[in-house]
Amino acid sequence: MNENPLKVLFLASEATPFAKTGGLADVAGALPKTLKELGHDIRVVMPGYGFIDREKFMIKEFMAELTVPMNGQTEQAAILETTIGQAPVYMVYSPKYFDREGIYMYHDDADRFVFFCRAAMEMLKRIDWAPDILHCNDWHTAIIPNWLHTIYKDDPFFNRTASIYSIHNLAYQGVFGHRVLEIAGVAKYQFMIPPGVSPENQINMMGRGIFFADLVNTVSRTYAEEILTPEYGQGFDWLLRERRDRLYGILNGIDYEVQNPATDPHIYRHYDLNHPELKLENKTALQREAGLAEEPNTPLIGMISRLSDQKGFDLVGQVIEAMMDNLRFQFILLGTGEERYHHLFNSIKDRFPDRSAVYLTFNASLAQKIYAGSDMFLMPSRFEPCGLGQLIAMRYGSVPIVRETGGLKDTVSNYNPATDSGNGFTFKKYDALAMYTAIVRAIETYRYRERWRTLVNRGMSADFSWRNSALKYVDLYRRALNIRADHPVPNEFLNVPG
């Protein structure tokens, strides 16, 4: 048991296994579990989306009615309750805001997430549980550090609470009109992010999180450095440089209990480090299921990803035909996203039916089959805060081919046959030819069985579990508490007329 346990509320818009669109859900599902195992009193709060299966996850009602101030009035929420591991999970439910098919991209997203955050704060007071740390994640919860300096500033309940703001993806910022400040009850404070971030009449939630949080972190060290530059800063490099003394990078882990080829219920045949050869059965079964030629010796390259430019699909688009024409490999893709990429991959599938398989959908079970059945995992991202795909791939013995950016750079090093070092294949420049060359190197190396086996083993035996990173978060939480006590937010940006 931890001698000095912390009380932490972890706020996220998505968390596995309940609701997921990307890596944030994986983090929210795993980090709190590990922190709990380390002896801290960590609790998660997320929206109780209508599509979440309450029976399956044993979700119970925790609080039938909670009054939530919104937009100068009050509305009602219900709070539901379940667990992730031993960590309690609260879900803020409101039919008006959360009975939707999806998670994001609704016209009232500003209202929905402000409501979620406010309900979370009010719930804490109702249950009389004042956290040491409010751990906010991405723009959906960015209003909270802002509130600690405004509406809750003089509230004794929160006067020892510090805030952490974690940036999982700087590209999604939550940009709204001024009305969001009224909804959130902070309009009268009249402060804005200083001009220059986005058009003057816009409110940027991400900016508020960065500005008001006691500490800010992102999910790898390299990304924490990259976002200080205009190339990666998404308009916020100046503010991040301003806050540099409060900016940290902590690599995400993956849940080694869930992501485990020895126990994964979704894959065809279990295997582990001592029996990596059994991985081949997963490859054969995947080839069969996906309609690919059942060729054990042809390298199978997998991709599982949102289909967006961020993930490097413009590079893939430029050379995929040439790759299929010139190189001997099979390709399997699972992903949804931009329409033009749906067209692109449908046409690849039509042209190369027994060498390519394309699933334009979100399918968590198939994803595991692809991690287990593929030989290589391609992630040529333009930018990548951390990236989980490459970590899961390594755990399943699929060798990553990545661009050296963000968390990809921090976790994958280039294979050097001369020194027999490295755990994957990397390229630097964001360029289709550079990617093509890395893929050629991977396919070439695959022919040397012993070398390939070393690479597979290296990935499978690496430790990207959450424990190390969770300890770093504990350290960050303690720093935030000290900073909160010593340095209130500087005043120079406050009261800029809005």
CA distance 451 to 197: 49
Phi, psi of 330 (to 5 degrees): -115, 155
CA distance 318 to 339: 16
- List the one residue from 387, 397, 400, 406 that touches ligand ADP (CB under 6 A): 387
The answer to whether 336 contacts ligand ADP (rule: CB under 6 A) is yes
Please identify, using beta-carbon distances, which residue of 131 and 380 lies nearer to ligand ADP.
380
Count interface residues toward ligand ADP (CB under 6 A). Answer: 19
Tokens found for residue 181: 């400040």
Whether 36 contacts 162, CB under 8 Å:
no
The answer to whether 364 contacts ligand ADP (rule: CB under 6 A) is yes
Please identify, using beta-carbon distances, which residue of 94 and 305 lies nearer to ligand ADP.
305
Where are the strands (E) in 94-205, listed by range? Answer: 133-137, 162-167, 175-176, 203-204
The answer to whether 170 contacts ligand ADP (rule: CB under 6 A) is no
- List the one residue from 363, 413, 414, 454 that touches ligand ADP (CB under 6 A): 363
The answer to whether 214 contacts ligand ADP (rule: CB under 6 A) is no
CB of 21 to ligand ADP, least distance (A): 7
Whether 256 contacts 287, CB under 8 Å:
no
CA distance 360 to 376: 20
The answer to whether 251 contacts ligand ADP (rule: CB under 6 A) is no
The answer to whether 253 contacts ligand ADP (rule: CB under 6 A) is no
How many residues does the structure list for the chain?
A: 498
Distance of alpha carbon 489 from its chain centroid, rounded?
27
- List the one residue from 10, 15, 23, 402 that touches ligand ADP (CB under 6 A): 23
The b-or-e profile of 14-42 (16+ CB within 10 A means b, else e) is: bbbebbbebbbbbbbbbbbbbbbebebbb
DSSP string, 436-485: HHHHHHHHHHHTSHHHHHHHHHHHHH---BHHHHHHHHHHHHHHHHHHHH
Whether 214 contacts 477, CB under 8 Å:
no
CB of 303 to ligand ADP, least distance (A): 9
Pairing mode of beta strands 399-403, 376-379: parallel
Please identify, using beta-carbon distances, which residue of 363 and 454 lies nearer to ligand ADP.
363
Kindly compute the dihedral angle of the four CA atoms of residues 235, 413, 380, 429, in this order, to the nearest 10 degrees.
70
DSSP string, 271-297: --TT-GGGHHHHHHHHHHHHT----TT
- List the one residue from 334, 378, 432, 476 that touches ligand ADP (CB under 6 A): 334
- List the one residue from 47, 389, 397, 424 that touches ligand ADP (CB under 6 A): 389
Distance of alpha carbon 352 from its chain centroid, rounded?
33
Question: Quick one: which segment of 53-61, 109-117, 200-208, 328-336 binds ligand ADP (CB under 6 A)?
Answer: 328-336
CB of 160 to ligand ADP, least distance (A): 33
Please identify, using beta-carbon distances, which residue of 20 and 478 lies nearer to ligand ADP.
20
Please identify, using beta-carbon distances, which residue of 79 and 379 lies nearer to ligand ADP.
379
Phi, psi of 268 (to 5 degrees): -75, -35
SS3 395: helix
Please identify, using beta-carbon distances, which residue of 26 and 214 lies nearer to ligand ADP.
26
CA distance 168 to 409: 16
DSSP 8-state secondary structure symbol assigned to residue 88:
E
The answer to whether 29 contacts ligand ADP (rule: CB under 6 A) is no
Pairing mode of beta strands 60-70, 73-84: antiparallel
Tokens found for residue 442: 């991977």
The answer to whether 367 contacts ligand ADP (rule: CB under 6 A) is yes
Please identify, using beta-carbon distances, which residue of 243 and 342 lies nearer to ligand ADP.
342
Please identify, using beta-carbon distances, which residue of 87 and 307 lies nearer to ligand ADP.
307
Please identify, using beta-carbon distances, which residue of 388 and 442 lies nearer to ligand ADP.
388
Question: Quick one: which segment of 92-100, 236-244, 361-369, 421-429 binds ligand ADP (CB under 6 A)?
Answer: 361-369
CB of 391 to ligand ADP, least distance (A): 8
Task: Name the closest residue to ligand ADP (Cβ).
Answer: 23
Question: Quick one: which segment of 22-30, 151-159, 205-213, 395-403 binds ligand ADP (CB under 6 A)?
Answer: 22-30
Q: CB-hemisphere CA count at 13 Å for 401?
A: 26
Nearest residue to 78 via CA among 97, 91, 96, 59: 91
Please identify, using beta-carbon distances, which residue of 43 and 140 lies nearer to ligand ADP.
140
The answer to whether 172 contacts ligand ADP (rule: CB under 6 A) is no
Question: Quick one: which segment of 138-146, 185-193, 333-341, 411-419 binds ligand ADP (CB under 6 A)?
Answer: 333-341
Tokens found for residue 460: 């499978």
- List the one residue from 26, 111, 214, 375 that touches ligand ADP (CB under 6 A): 26
Tokens found for residue 144: 């909270």
Per-residue mark of binding to ligand ADP, 283-322 (x: CB under 6 A): ---------------------xxx----------------
CB of 41 to ligand ADP, least distance (A): 27
The answer to whether 400 contacts ligand ADP (rule: CB under 6 A) is no
Surface-to-core class of residue 215, CB atoms within 10 Å of its CB (0-12 exposed, 13-18 middle, 19+ buried)? buried
Please identify, using beta-carbon distances, which residue of 47 and 131 lies nearer to ligand ADP.
47
The answer to whether 335 contacts ligand ADP (rule: CB under 6 A) is yes
The answer to whether 202 contacts ligand ADP (rule: CB under 6 A) is no
DSSP 8-state secondary structure symbol assigned to residue 15:
B
Positions touching ligand ADP (CB under 6 A) are 22-23, 26, 169, 304-306, 334-336, 362-364, 367, 386-389, 392
